[in-house]
Homo-oligomer: A and B are copies of this chain.
Amino acid sequence: MYSGEIGKKLKELGINPGDKIKVEYDNVEIEGELMPKTEFGSPDTIIVKLKNGYNVGIGFKNSRITKVSSGKGIPEFPKASMKPDPKLPKVSLIYTGGTIGSKIDYKTGGVEESKMSPEELLYIVPELSKIARIVIRNPFSIPSEEMSHSEWKTIANEVAKELNDGARGVVVTMGTDTMHYLSSALSFMLNNLNAPVVVTGAQRSSDRGSSDAFVNLICSVQIAAKSNIAEVGVCMHATSSDDQCHFIKGTKVRKMHSSRRDAFRPINDRAIAHVTKEGEIKYAENYSKISSKKTKLSAKTDFDSKIAIVKVFPGSDPTILDFYIDKGYDGFIIEATGLGHVPTNPSKKEYSWIPSIKKAIAKGAIVGITTQTLYGRVNPNVYTNLRIVSGTGAIYCEDMLPETAFVKLGWLLANYDKKKAKELLNKNLAGEINERINYDEFLL
């Protein structure tokens, strides 16, 4: 039961577990049933069961608690959910921080970041333990804006280890900001993948009624435990309503909104699958399926971090490439305009990118051309000026996203010799290039 200050306050208000209460803090108002204290809850947090069935932990400080109505005593504690069912498939959950973590942190008190025990997670999202035997790993906890290649390597190795150790699938949770970079990195790093690898997170705090954390987590575990997909992908809300998620190929997904729950969209592609909380999975036509052959998964995690994304804009200074070259950079992904244009006019010398691109290539760098429109394909054959750019030896990267091309380039440079890396940049390796973009695959 609640003790200390919380216990005292609840006693004053005449509130007992099972009562319906209202909690207000900041601009949030939550109504639900007061749940009993658990042994792993933080001392300044109360647990409230929402109407939708989720238990959320709410910090006691700065909250205004009022009693709405008396309950019928202590609600049943979901003990059954705490014990892993040996008949269920094993799913490893690699937890790395981010919003989904910061909320769960909030529940556990918010002080010790992301040190969540499996019991806590299963208590907060009891549905998970009915879908799979969840094993939780926590290699580190950082916000996604701080994550880069060294964390991608660690995660790729963890995923390989878990799958080789018998997990049916893996769910990786992280902050959403750079999620599509991680999903691209895992797509290239994990060879011979024969299981679903699901990257997920949350756009909204789980202490808000509008949180997407629970549904994203449940749908992701459903994909990991039940789907026949042998691909890396992102599983997040498909629409703003809470009824289903989509699973999008890791190399064809991008965060397209700063705050919406349905921010992750397929670009020049469609989702591989749609999945409900209940585990109903609707598949698209083409994707890699789990095969019966048993293979050991090997992670190829080397990465050359001396690469940069460079955006071209009106009046942009092309000597930015020289700046990087002087620092020993090995490659660039240029976010060009339209079909892959950069200024090429020799009579507007300070603006033409051709001398700097030529110089970078002469120094051994690989230069890839993508488009800042994001949707669509680059094509060096339409206009004369485009042929000038491709004539430098820059590689036109088809319909690849700039972010995916960036990750691919760093991975290629570390795993192949330069000639081969250049050759592979615009060849499809992990679904990052579609030969054909379907008509409806715009703003999907």
Contact = CB atoms under 8 A, between A and B. Distances in A.
Interface in A272-314: 305, 308-309, 311-314
A145 B337 contact: yes
A116 interface: no
A63 interface: no
A148 B377 contact: no
A279 to B, nearest CB: 28
Interface stretch (A40-48, A228-236, A243-251, A255-263): A255-263
A317 interface: yes
A311 B333 CA distance: 12
Interface residues of A, number: 66
A415 interface: no
Residue among A144, A315, A383, A443 with max Cβ neighbours from chain B (10 Å): A315
Interface stretch (A66-74, A78-86, A173-181, A420-428): A173-181
Interface stretch (A11-19, A123-131, A214-222, A340-348): A340-348
Given A145-B385, A439-B240, A338 B376 contact: no
Contact of A373 (B143, B263, B305, B340): B263
Nearest to A255: B373
B308 A309 contact: no
Contacts of A181: 313-314
A351 interface: yes
B339 A147 contact: no
B315 A149 contact: yes
Nearest to A142: B345
Given A178-B337, A439-B240, A313 B406 contact: yes
A155 to B, nearest CB: 13
B343 A145 contact: yes
Interface in A105-152: 142-149
Contacts of A362: none
Given A148-B314, A316-B308, A385-B143, A376 B177 contact: no
Contacts of A408: none
A429 to B, nearest CB: 20
A385 B309 CA distance: 23
For the complex of A and B, the 5 pairs showing the least CB-CB separation, nearest first, are: A258-B376, A177-B337, A148-B314, A145-B341, A177-B338
Interface of A: 102, 142-149, 175-178, 181, 240, 255-260, 262-263, 265, 305, 308-309, 311-317, 320, 323-324, 327, 335, 337-345, 348, 351, 371, 373-379, 383, 385, 403, 406, 439, 442-444
Given A143-B383, A178-B337, A308-B313, 11 more contacts: A142-B345, A145-B338, A177-B341, A178-B314, A181-B314, A256-B443, A257-B373, A260-B376, A309-B313, A311-B335, A323-B323
20 contacts: A143-B383, A145-B312, A145-B338, A145-B341, A146-B344, A146-B345, A146-B348, A147-B314, A149-B314, A177-B341, A240-B439, A255-B338, A255-B373, A256-B442, A257-B375, A260-B376, A262-B442, A263-B375, A311-B335, A443-B443
